[in-house]
Chains A and B, each alone.
Chain A
Amino acid sequence: MTAAAVWPWRSPPPDDAEPPAPSSTRERLVLAATLAVLVVGVGLRSPSIRAPLAGRDQGTYVLRAQLTLRTGALGWTDRALAEAARARESHPDAPGPRDILGLYPRHEEPWRQGNYESPYRPGAYLAERDAGRVVPQFFHLHPTLLAVAGAVAGPGRTGWMMIWIGALGLGCFACVARRLWPARDGPWSVLALALLAASPLAIWTARTPLSEGAMALFEIAALLAALRLRDAGDEQREPWRIALFLGFAAFVRGNALIVLPVILAATWLRPRGEDTSRAWAWAPALVLAALLGTVVLHALTTYPYLHDELLRRVAERVPGLEPTPAALMGLTAAGAGLWVVLDRAFARLPEGARAALVRASVPAMVLGTFAAFGLWAALRAGAPDLSVRPFSRLDAAPILIGAPMLVAAGLGLVVLAWTWRPTPRAVWLVALASLVPVTALLYAPRELPTLGFFYYGRYLVPELLPAAILASTAALAAVHGWIHPRRPRLAQALVGALALGLVGVVAAPLIQSPQLRLREYEPASAAVDWLAARIPEDAVLIAGGEGWHHDHTHNQIGGALALARGAQVLPYRTREDAWITAWELLVAGPERSGEPRPPVYLLVNEAAHQTTRKSDGARLALVDDQLWSPFRAERVELLELFVDALTPVGDQLPTRVARHELRMALIRLEVDEDALARIERVRFEGDTCLRADADLELRFEADPARHRHLALSVAGLGDSRLARALPQMHVEVDGQRLRAEPPKGVRGRHRATLGPLPLPEAHGEGPRTLRLRMPELEPGLLIDDPACPYGRVDELRLLPRERGALDRLAALEDGVTAVSIAPRDDLGHPPKPATWVRGRSLSRYRAGTEPEPEIRGRSMVLAAGEALDFAAIDLPLDGAGETHPLLVLVTLTRTSTGEGAQLVLEERSAEGEPTLLATLDIPAQRPRTFIADPLAWRPTNERARIRVRVVDPNQAGGEVELRDVALFVDAPGIPSALERH
Chain B
Amino acid sequence: MVPAVSALLALALAGLALSLAARWQGGAGALARWPSLDFDVDALCLALAAHLGVVGLLATLLAWAGLFSAGAWRSRAR
Contact = CB atoms under 8 A, between A and B. Distances in A.
A749 interface: no
A905 B35 CA distance: 85
B43 A9 contact: yes
Contacts of B5: 148, 151-152
A248 to B, nearest CB: 3
B8 to A, nearest CB: 6
Contact of A72 (B19, B47, B69): B69
Contacts of B11: 1-3
A189 to B, nearest CB: 11
B60 A2 contact: no
B45 A171 contact: yes
A178 B42 CA distance: 9
Interface stretch (A10-18, A328-336, A577-585, A640-648): A10-18
B48 A72 contact: no
Nearest to A9: B47
Contact of B37 (A11, A23, A244): A23
Most A CB within 10 A of own CB, among B14, B38, B55, B56: B56
A140 B51 contact: no
Interface in A465-512: none
Interface string A135-154: 00000111011011001100
Interface stretch (A63-71, A367-375, A568-576): A63-71
Nearest to B19: A6
Contacts of A175: 41-42, 45
A533 to B, nearest CB: 20
B49 A245 contact: yes
Contacts of A297: 60, 64
Contacts of A202: none
B33 to A, nearest CB: 6
Contact of A73 (B9, B25, B51, B72): B72
Given A3-B14, A5-B15, A9-B23, A72 B72 contact: yes
Contact of B56 (A10, A13, A21, A145): A145
Interface in B46-78: 46-60, 62-64, 66-73
A218 B55 CA distance: 13
Nearest to A234: B43
Q: Is the interface of B mostly helix, strand, loop or mixed?
A: helix
Q: Is the interface of A mostly helix, strand, loop or mixed?
A: helix
A28 interface: yes
A176 B43 CA distance: 11
A2 B15 contact: yes
A23 B5 CA distance: 43
B18 A6 contact: yes
Given A151-B9, A217-B49, A144 B56 contact: yes
Contacts of B36: 19-23
A214 B36 CA distance: 32
A147 B59 contact: yes
A296 to B, nearest CB: 11
Contact of A148 (B18, B33, B46, B56): B56
Nearest to A300: B64
A327 to B, nearest CB: 21
Contact of B72 (A19, A71, A151, A251): A71
B18 to A, nearest CB: 5
A301 B64 contact: yes
Contacts of B71: 70-72
A221 interface: yes
A31 B22 CA distance: 22
Contacts of B58: 1-2
B15 A251 contact: no
Contacts of B64: 73-74, 140, 297, 301
B45 A221 contact: yes
A450 to B, nearest CB: 30
A69 B51 contact: no
A295 B21 CA distance: 36
Interface string A70-99: 111110000000000000000000000000
Given A19-B36, A148-B8, A245-B49, A6 B54 contact: yes
B55 A145 contact: yes
A380 interface: no
Contacts of A668: none
A221 B50 contact: yes
Contacts of A196: none
B32 to A, nearest CB: 9
A172 B46 contact: yes
Nearest to B76: A72
Nearest to B71: A72
B45 A224 contact: yes
Given A12-B22, A145-B55, A151-B9, A221 B46 contact: yes
A12 B37 contact: no
Given A6-B54, A10-B18, A144 B59 contact: yes
A10 B44 CA distance: 10
Contacts of A10: 18, 22-23
A9 B50 contact: yes
A168 interface: yes
Interface in A15-57: 19-23, 27-28, 31
A27 B66 CA distance: 50
Contact of A248 (B26, B53, B67): B53
Interface string A411-449: 000000000000000000000000000000000000000
A12 B21 CA distance: 10
Contacts of A71: 66, 68-69, 71-72
A5 B57 CA distance: 12
A169 B3 CA distance: 30
Most A CB within 10 A of own CB, among B35, B49, B64, B72: B49
Nearest to B27: A12
B54 A13 contact: no
A228 interface: yes
Given A13-B25, A31-B37, A72-B73, A218 B43 contact: no
Contacts of A248: 50, 52-53, 56-57
Contacts of B52: 145, 164-165, 168, 214, 217, 248
Nearest to B36: A20
A5 B15 CA distance: 8
B7 to A, nearest CB: 10
A168 B68 CA distance: 25
A840 interface: no
A241 B18 contact: no
A31 B38 CA distance: 11
B59 A5 contact: no
A151 B8 contact: yes
A10 B38 CA distance: 16
Nearest to B75: A72
B51 A144 contact: no
Contacts of A73: 63-64, 66, 68-69, 72
Nearest to B73: A72
Contact of A141 (B37, B51, B57, B72): B57
B71 to A, nearest CB: 6
A711 interface: no
A179 interface: yes
Interface in A165-216: 165, 168, 171-172, 175-176, 178-179, 214
Given A2-B14, A9-B19, A244-B50, 11 more contacts: A1-B11, A5-B50, A23-B35, A68-B59, A69-B69, A71-B68, A74-B66, A151-B9, A172-B45, A241-B46, A244-B53
Closest 9 CB pairs of A and B: A72-B72, A72-B69, A248-B53, A175-B42, A2-B15, A10-B22, A151-B5, A144-B59, A2-B11
23 contacts: A1-B58, A2-B14, A2-B15, A5-B15, A5-B51, A6-B50, A9-B23, A20-B36, A72-B4, A72-B66, A141-B57, A148-B12, A148-B59, A152-B12, A171-B45, A171-B48, A172-B45, A172-B46, A175-B41, A176-B42, A217-B49, A224-B45, A244-B50
Interface of B: 1-2, 4-5, 8-9, 11-12, 14-15, 18-19, 22-23, 25-26, 33, 35-38, 41-43, 45-60, 62-64, 66-73
